[in-house]
Amino acid sequence: MGISLFKVSGSSFDRNERRVAEKTFVVKGNPIPSNYKILSNEVINGYLILLINYPDANNYEGNKILVFDKGVTVINLLEQVNIDPHFSNNENYISPLARFEPTDRGMEMARVMCKNMVS
């Protein structure tokens, strides 16, 4: 989880709330893991690449490119209901392996990474 003076970010899988100086608050502009739309998906070398939109997120119009580990399917993610774009160590949820900027360049970088991964 990252913390700065102006914003808090981290996986909702790690905590259900944000706490700073014993005050709980909702961070505006962060993606809500249950409110998303999968725009596209592809599997390369067994790794799943998603282009996903979180309408509550501020940056890049809410679009994110997420890469999931070998063997993870869209069905696996839909079954857990929430897809949090942040990295998490919570073993009860599938977390992305990598994230890329949601641009054509970012998608190409995700594809190159997946093509070159050695398991």
* pLDDT reported for residue 17: 43
Digit-coded pLDDT (tens) for 9-46:
455 544 544 445 555 555 678 899 999 999 999 999 99
HSE on the CB side for 84, CA within 13 Å?
Answer: 18
Number of folded domains that form the chain: 1
- Each residue's pLDDT tens digit, 36-92: 999 999 999 999 999 999 999 999 999 999 999 999 999 999 999 999 999 999 999
Residue 72 gets which letter from DSSP?
-
How far apart CA 77 and CA 94 sit, in angstroms, is 7
Which residue range forms the structural domain that includes residue 69?
Answer: 2-116
Residues 65 and 76 sit within 8 Å (Cβ to Cβ) = no
> Is residue 90 within 8 Å of residue 29, measured between CB atoms?
no
